[in-house]
Chain A
Amino acid sequence: MRRLGVGHVPEDRQRMGLVTSFVAKENAILGYHRDEAYNRTFEMNESFMLEECSSKMKDYDVRPANPELQSSLFSGGNQQKLVVMREMSRNPELLIVGQPTRGVDIGAIEFIHRRIITMRDAGKAVLLVSVELDEILSLSDRILVMFNGEMMGEISAEEADERKIGLLMAGIREEAA
């Protein structure tokens, strides 16, 4: 999947997105660790890992920008930025983002939202999965609502408001309403 240009920011960064006992530069390549750039014949190219991670951390405003710091010592927002950085910096054609701002401070939320918009503007596909209505309304072009495992309907961003989405979320289809 990754080789086909799909990036994935998983919902649960601590359980899936990161290995919290690893240092930042190790987590920055999770899932891409077999890429040629990071490997020599036997050992990994650690100076390159360090360099790349360091510059990306500045780019994505991960604080502190220390590639050698253990991931569990970063704040929730910065951990999330680390995951977003790993998945977005590879310029995927399709990015799947799950709950990107759960348990994240306001500054980081804004930063992550801006990055998602930038990707959209660059013509990439972004699939955002979220329970935050504000987040969906402010970021999405098309909104699909699911209820009880079923697709309830599709709304475009212009005609969407909280009431319409709310009805769909409660399992009431448009025709019925």
Chain B
Amino acid sequence: MNEKTENLVLVVLITTVNLLLAFIISGLVIWSVGEDPWFALKTMLYGAFGYDEGIGYTLYYTTNFIFTGLAFAVAFHCRLFNIGAEGQAYIGGLGVGLVCLWLEELPFVVILPAAIMASALFGAIWGAIPGYLQAKRGSHVVITTIMFNFIASVLMVYLLVNVLIKPGQMSPETREFGENGWLPQMHELFSWIGIQITPTPLNLSLFWAFICAFFVWRYIWHTRWGYEMRTVGANESAAVYAGINVDRNIIIAMALGGALAGFVGINEIMGFNHRILLNFQFGYGFTGIVVSLIGRNHPFGILLASLLFGILYQGGAELAFETQTIDRHMVVLIQGLVILFAGALENLFRPQLQALVRSLFKTSTPVAASG
């Protein structure tokens, strides 16, 4: 047991140090463009937590990141780099929107499961094709998923400009669908029980994200399917030796990742926009990579990391609003740095921190034993 806690402490310590490094460099960038990093930090924290509307937006973004983070993590356990959550979320949203448009006469209890299934199915197809190409044709999943992101975005422009656009309208959007297809938002739920909060896009999808995280955790570590997937990811020849169908697991992992990314559509389309529009998924897919890497590809870590990036997203919006020089893309820059330090350079301080943790535990073990 002691080893487990020791490892946990080490992981938390390494992640924190690497995150801090990324933030310090981001602070330097802010400083170099002539803004005060301390002011920036305060503005971001206030924007994310300072008032109930801010908290609503923070959790709303968090919801998206949980989905895309899980989408990356599931595939990563099969050692696949699913860089395509962006496109999978986009196409998943298409599925949700189509269901809501076609079934809007039906009651909400019918539309909701149909929309969930549609988003999962559309996303899964968009993930499974690159998975299939990787498994059967050896085309690298990173390049194919990136290409599928581009293809998704062109396809959506085509559909929204030529097919699904609301007649007599300039901007490429569908019409708003009927209220039966609206997922209740948090401020509505609160008002039913008599509490008034500021309306925000935050909606029931947050709970669906928690449920997904729970199931991903059970699936990956506690079912035979997850076991096979992890075997393929960790050691392909051992998987072949164990009679596991490697190709099938690759395709399944990508399809599952795609389905999870597709749920972004539930949050965005059903929960807030109530219509299909361009680029509603923008940037969430890439953030999913970061979230999963800092969360150590574990659902619990992903929940925490999603919250962190929810804060950064909402706080970053506040910061961009407050200052002229800092763009919303500051968050993208921070993400790049976090991936670099927490992902690629995760071993940078490992030896030192490992020594530190060891010495800490050595001194504390006798106390624990005597107590």
Whether A and B touch directly in their complex, counting CB atoms under 8 A apart, is answered as: yes
B275 CB within 8 Å of chain A: no
Give the complex CA separation of A26 and B226 in angstroms: 12
Q: Are B238 and A18 in contact (CB under 8 A)?
A: yes
Complex: chain A residue closest to B218, CB-CB:
A43
Give the complex CA separation of A130 and B226 in angstroms: 35
Q: Are B223 and A22 in contact (CB under 8 A)?
A: no
Cβ of A34 to closest chain B Cβ, rounded Å: 6
Interfacial chain B residues near A30, Cβ < 8 Å = 231, 238, 241-242
Interfacial chain A residues near B222, Cβ < 8 Å = 43-44, 46
Cβ of A45 to closest chain B Cβ, rounded Å: 10
B223 interface neighbour in A10, A18, A44, Cβ under 8 Å: A44
A19 CB within 8 Å of chain B: yes
Q: Are B227 and A44 in contact (CB under 8 A)?
A: yes
Q: Are B227 and A26 in contact (CB under 8 A)?
A: yes
Cβ of B56 to closest chain A Cβ, rounded Å: 35
B139 CB within 8 Å of chain A: no
Where chain B touches its partner, the secondary structure class is helix
Q: Are B231 and A19 in contact (CB under 8 A)?
A: yes
Q: Are A15 and B237 in contact (CB under 8 A)?
A: yes
Interfacial chain B residues near A17, Cβ < 8 Å = 238, 241
Interfacial chain B residues near A54, Cβ < 8 Å = none
How many chain A residues touch B (Cβ–Cβ < 8 Å)? 23
Cβ of B212 to closest chain A Cβ, rounded Å: 16
Q: Which interface class (under 10, 10 to 19, 20 to 34, 35 or more) fits B?
A: 10 to 19
Query: Per-residue CB proximity of A140-155 to B under 8 Å, as 1/0?
Result: 0000000000000000
Interface residues of A in 5-31 (CB under 8 A from B): 8, 10, 15-22, 26, 30-31
Interfacial chain A residues near B235, Cβ < 8 Å = 15-16, 18-21
B238 interface neighbour in A8, A16, A38, A46, Cβ under 8 Å: A16
Q: Are B224 and A31 in contact (CB under 8 A)?
A: no
Give the complex CA separation of A43 and B224 in angstroms: 7
Q: Are A2 and B243 in contact (CB under 8 A)?
A: yes
B230 CB within 8 Å of chain A: yes
Q: Are A33 and B241 in contact (CB under 8 A)?
A: no
Cβ of B65 to closest chain A Cβ, rounded Å: 26
Which residues of A pack against B, CB within 8 Å? Answer: 1-2, 8, 10, 15-22, 26, 30-31, 33-34, 38-39, 42-44, 46
Which residues of B pack against A, CB within 8 Å? Answer: 218, 222-224, 227-228, 230-231, 234-235, 237-238, 241-243
Q: List 27 A-B contacts (CB under 8 A).
A: A2-B243, A8-B241, A10-B241, A15-B237, A16-B235, A16-B241, A18-B235, A19-B234, A19-B235, A19-B238, A20-B234, A20-B235, A21-B234, A21-B235, A22-B230, A26-B227, A31-B243, A33-B227, A33-B228, A34-B224, A38-B224, A39-B224, A43-B218, A43-B222, A44-B222, A44-B223, A46-B222
Which 10 residue pairs spanning A and B have beta carbons closest together?
A31-B242, A16-B241, A43-B222, A19-B235, A19-B234, A30-B242, A21-B234, A16-B237, A19-B238, A33-B224
